[in-house]
Structure 1
Amino acid sequence: MLKSDSVSLFAEGTFEEQIQELVNYLTRGLPDEARAAFIKPFQDVLITRGSQKPLEEDSDRRRQTIIMVLAEVKNLGQGSDRETEGFFNLLYSHVLSLFPETSKAQEHLEPLLATISSAPSETPTTKYKILSNLFNALPRQSPLRLQVVNVLLPLVVSNNDLEVLQITRSTVDRWLSQWDVLQDEKTAFLKNIADAFNQAGDSETSYSYLLSRVELLPESSPDATTAALDTIVATLQLPTVFDLNHLLKVKALQTVKDHPLFGLLRILLYGDLAQYKEWQAANTSTINEFGLDATALDRKIRFLTLASLATQHVGKDLAYGKIVSALQIESSQVEVWVIDAIRAKLLSGKLSQPTQTFHVTRAMTRAFEQAEWKLLEEKLVSWRSGLVSVLEVVANARKSTQVSRGANVHGDLAKEVPTAVVS
């Protein structure tokens, strides 16, 4: 529903006619006596008296009039969806033209946004349209766009309508590059989006925004510690997140390097099942405090342990017995764990029940450190030697073929040349 380009709102008629239209909308449903009393202050301010400048030339009086209208907007009003949308579009047009300075426009739009979001409405789509129209009426660099989206997000989430905003990662990145807002406001916005997707049940998308938030925060930020812990908890809870190497290098995470959760993250990246069980026994209170699922954590460390074991056997057979020992499971569970790890895209290969082995063709590396570089070097040297041998075989075969062809040619020529007659 939200668009990326600003859209101008055009209004027809004189200023007096437009104010009359706005006021008439606000007085719908009022009895005649109350309606007359409501309209009178607007009539008074619109009348040009004595030495006053004409209204079209008197910007102060026009601003005063719009402020009076804004003060009377207590709900969405009584009208069709189209009429309600038209009322607010006209009101936006005047606010943005009469208060071009961002701070002044913000002063008058903030209470209006609060009124719109809290107003009762039979169909939430009316609110979505009203707010989206304001978003699109603002310049692309305007920080007020951020405020509009922050009002829209909880509104659509509360109605299970997050998809109507059509928020994508590329859209968010573009907004953050365009909006003239502080770094802290950008990171707070990423947190709001993450919360919205989490409440909508999309934890993976939520995690991607949490990660962007913590990557954007400097270590000196007062929000760095909270953001780091939020991201670590989400990492631990998501069953599909196994790539942890990048996360430990994020600067903001260094603010919690002495926290038990950071220690657990290191175990998941570098450690094994025995180290995890030791951590678990010593940090029961931490698991409870952050609502972590011990069973899910146990499953994740076993997967990562299996991936590390498989990394050492790429191109080779991995015996079931080694998997049993590393994962501390029954031999009957080996194939289940391997198949689940393949589904999680941690490794690939072929199981063999007769030989009780798993032939590894690919495995995810948990952390690319010195040992992994050394292993890669050994593989490259081995492949290079293999390629050299292949090239030698090809060269010898080619040479043998050329020699064979040469012998055949000489034989054929000898047959065709006539014997010389000596007289």
Structure 2
Amino acid sequence: MEPQPNFRSAVGGVRRRYSDPGPQDNSTPYRFSEVDSAPQTTPSLSESVASGHPSSTRQYDSRSPTRLTVEEAIKKLQELLKQKRRLDKPTKKMPQLFFVDGTFAELAQAMADIVQVGDQVKPMLEKDQKEDALAAIVKASIHLNSIAEKDYNPSYNLLIYLVLEFAQDPKKYLPTMCGNILKPITSSPQHHFALASNALTTIFNTLDEKNPLRYNVFVQMVRLVKANNAYDLLKPSLMNLKDWLKSWDTDEEAQRNLFVELAEVASEGGDDEESYEFLKKALGTFDADDKEELTSEEAQRIALRAVRMGLLSNNTYLFQDLCALPAVQALADSHPVYSNLLDIFNEQDLEDYNDFKEENKGFLEQEKLDDAKLERKMRLLTFASLAASSPNREISYDAIAKALQIPMNQVELWAIDVIRATLVEGRLSQQQKVFLIHRVTYRVFAMKQWRELDTRLHQVKDTFVQLAAVVRRQQTEVNAQKERDQAEIERKLANVNLGEGQRGDRRGGRGGFGGKPRDAPAPKERDDNDD
């Protein structure tokens, strides 16, 4: 985002500087450069006592006629510590987003001259009628849409500052300001979105993060995005929407209106999946115990729209969460055919869908529902149901062809499609003509599915018990074999030692009678002949 130019008023030479907007943290859709006020230091406990700070207490003087008991001294010390903690506790203050020099009268007069109501506002300022002056300036703020492009955002920054800083009730001025911002900027039509979004986000970020007025400003931002088909720019900030609505304490009706607006923006932006999610959130804001509200025209309209979008979506295959919404369940009385069709896609199969078409001929064409798209989705869902109900984790080609009502040579193509739809994971065995199931997504998870899960868990348990028995048996055999091998090694070592002993005895008995060794010859004395 380009830096905003400095703006100097020609009236009275009042100097004003405005901060440059930029990206902000995750609590706001964009960041503005924030300049915090000078940090306020809290005096230490000793400083408080010495300087007469509100937290100070009278020091104990042994010469004072009033002496404190131990209990009184402890009590006073506890009070002193509480006061210190209260003073040391950091206070959260809204960062200052503007640098503005000048009094209210000077700034308001300069703003009035810009929007061409200077003569009207001047006597009000002389009488110190701030509210009347602000009302006249805001009413005439439509003139900002025709000033030079370089002065648009600085002028709006000044107007925002005057309203939020000096108005007794900024709420009554913001709708007019936001409405004027959304109107075309005649001086720069090609940059309307950038200029208008900058002004709106300045208002949004200047308001305290818990201020409910932020909701109204955000709605205007959504409408601006919708008018300019810029959903991709808004989408990253929507991750904070849940926290924003909670901090603004937004009621259910206001949430519903916003969700419906966002659903339209996402749909026009090509994100049908997000649009479908926003519609479900909008349906969730209706009171489940208020039958009149559930059957209202608004509830039925949103419910039908969500059902249609879910059925025709290329990425939506599971409808259990949609069917669980009370507003959708109320369609069974007001729109029974739609309700029946949704039930089929929720937990029934292709044969039931074909029966529905026979019983309600012309319904799909009348409601502009694409039969080819619905039939394809129904075949994929039928494949998923077939895989989920398979007891041995495999399906024959014949069973697939029969359930999907397709020729045998198309089974592998549909198996690939159902894997791409992430409904089933597995592999094809062309040799055995079966589809081996690795994982399957249940379309509904009710009592029947819980029973199946219980059965499979018991099967897994039995398998592990059998496996543990085999491991223990093999371990016993291994230990027995080790013992046998050890005994064999010890036996062989014993035989080797015995054989060596016998050979030694035989070598020691050579040359003597009876096995006794002969005496060694006496050494010969040395004489002269030895030389």
Judge conservation of contact 1:2–1:132 (CA < 8 Å) in 2. no
Structure 2 unaligned segments of length 5 or more: list them.
1-22, 29-93, 502-531
Mapped to 2, the partners of 1:365 and 1:211 lie a distance apart of 21
Aligned-residue offset at 1:184: 0.6
Superposition pairs of residues 51-70 of structure 1, within 5 angstroms: 55=128, 61-70=129-138
Aligned-residue offset at 1:410: 3.4
Partner of 1:72: 140
User: What amino acid is aligned across from residue 171 of structure 1 in structure 2?
Assistant: N
Judge conservation of contact 1:142–1:180 (CA < 8 Å) in 2. no
Asked whether 1:190 is paired with 2:259, we answer yes
Partner of 2:299: 224
Asked whether 1:344 is paired with 2:421, we answer yes
**What secondary structure sits across from 2:229 in the alignment?**
coil
Partner of 1:41: 120
Among residues 318, 332, 344, which one is paired with 1:257 in the alignment? 332
User: What amino acid is aligned across from residue 311 of structure 1 in structure 2?
Assistant: A
Asked whether 1:381 is paired with 2:381, we answer no
Asked whether 1:99 is paired with 2:130, we answer no
User: What amino acid is aligned across from residue 108 of structure 1 in structure 2?
Assistant: Y
Mapped to 2, the partners of 1:212 and 1:255 lie a distance apart of 16
1:279-337 alpha-carbon deviations (Å, 9 max, x no partner): 22333565345432221111111111111111123653311111111111122221111
User: What amino acid is aligned across from residue 422 of structure 2 in structure 1?
Assistant: K
Mapped to 2, the partners of 1:286 and 1:143 lie a distance apart of 45
1:64-105 alpha-carbon deviations (Å, 9 max, x no partner): 1111111212243444444211211221222223334xxx42
1:5-51 alpha-carbon deviations (Å, 9 max, x no partner): 56544332111221232123224xxxxxxxxxx43222222225xxx
**What secondary structure sits across from 1:122 in the alignment?**
helix
Judge conservation of contact 1:25–1:78 (CA < 8 Å) in 2. no
Judge conservation of contact 2:253–2:285 (CA < 8 Å) in 1. no
Asked whether 1:110 is paired with 2:175, we answer yes
Judge conservation of contact 2:383–2:400 (CA < 8 Å) in 1. yes
Distance 1:76-1:211 versus aligned 2 partners, 3 A rule: same
1:138-187 alpha-carbon deviations (Å, 9 max, x no partner): 22222222222222223222222222234444311111111132211011
How many residues were matched structurally? 397
User: What amino acid is aligned across from residue 118 of structure 2 in structure 1?
Assistant: I
Judge conservation of contact 2:396–2:433 (CA < 8 Å) in 1. yes
Mapped to 2, the partners of 1:187 and 1:312 lie a distance apart of 39
Superposition pairs of residues 402-413 of structure 1, within 5 angstroms: 402-413=479-490
Judge conservation of contact 1:315–1:359 (CA < 8 Å) in 2. no
Among residues 195, 220, 245, which one is paired with 1:176 in the alignment? 245
- TM-score (ref. length: structure 2): 0.69
Judge conservation of contact 1:176–1:186 (CA < 8 Å) in 2. yes
Partner of 2:314: 239
Distance 1:131-1:262 versus aligned 2 partners, 3 A rule: same
Judge conservation of contact 1:2–1:166 (CA < 8 Å) in 2. no
Among residues 19, 23, 27, which one is paired with 2:108 in the alignment? 19
Partner of 1:365: 442
Instruction: Give the share of equivalent positions with the same residue, in percent.
Output: 25
Mapped to 1, the partners of 2:254 and 2:362 lie a distance apart of 33
Mapped to 2, the partners of 1:137 and 1:319 lie a distance apart of 65
Partner of 2:378: 301
Superposition pairs of residues 202-221 of structure 1, within 5 angstroms: 202-219=271-288, 220=290, 221=293
Mapped to 1, the partners of 2:304 and 2:406 lie a distance apart of 31
**What secondary structure sits across from 2:173 in the alignment?**
helix
Aligned-residue offset at 1:271: 1.5
Judge conservation of contact 2:276–2:310 (CA < 8 Å) in 1. yes
1:206-255 alpha-carbon deviations (Å, 9 max, x no partner): 11111222223223234432232222111111121112222222223222
Distance 1:285-1:142 versus aligned 2 partners, 3 A rule: farther
Judge conservation of contact 2:349–2:378 (CA < 8 Å) in 1. yes
Judge conservation of contact 2:387–2:393 (CA < 8 Å) in 1. no
Mapped to 1, the partners of 2:449 and 2:175 lie a distance apart of 55
Judge conservation of contact 2:144–2:155 (CA < 8 Å) in 1. no
Asked whether 1:162 is paired with 2:231, we answer yes
Partner of 2:47: none
Mapped to 2, the partners of 1:24 and 1:284 lie a distance apart of 69
User: What amino acid is aligned across from residue 137 of structure 1 in structure 2?
Assistant: T
User: What amino acid is aligned across from residue 205 of structure 2 in structure 1?
Assistant: N
User: What amino acid is aligned across from residue 386 of structure 2 in structure 1?
Assistant: L
Mapped to 2, the partners of 1:355 and 1:415 lie a distance apart of 55
Partner of 2:347: 270
**What secondary structure sits across from 2:320 in the alignment?**
coil
Partner of 2:77: none
Partner of 2:199: 130
User: What amino acid is aligned across from residue 346 of structure 2 in structure 1?
Assistant: L
Among residues 390, 408, 428, which one is paired with 1:313 in the alignment? 390
Aligned-residue offset at 1:354: 3.4
Partner of 1:145: 214
**What secondary structure sits across from 1:239 in the alignment?**
coil
Q: What RMSD in Å do the two structures reach over aligned CA positions?
A: 2.5
Judge conservation of contact 1:233–1:290 (CA < 8 Å) in 2. no
Superposition pairs of residues 314-329 of structure 1, within 5 angstroms: 316-329=393-406
Partner of 2:10: none
Distance 1:352-1:406 versus aligned 2 partners, 3 A rule: closer
Distance 1:301-1:225 versus aligned 2 partners, 3 A rule: same
Structure 1 unaligned segments of length 5 or more: list them.
28-37, 49-54, 56-60
Structure 1 or 2: more helix by fraction: 1
Judge conservation of contact 2:134–2:167 (CA < 8 Å) in 1. no
Aligned-residue offset at 1:385: 1.9
Judge conservation of contact 2:104–2:162 (CA < 8 Å) in 1. no
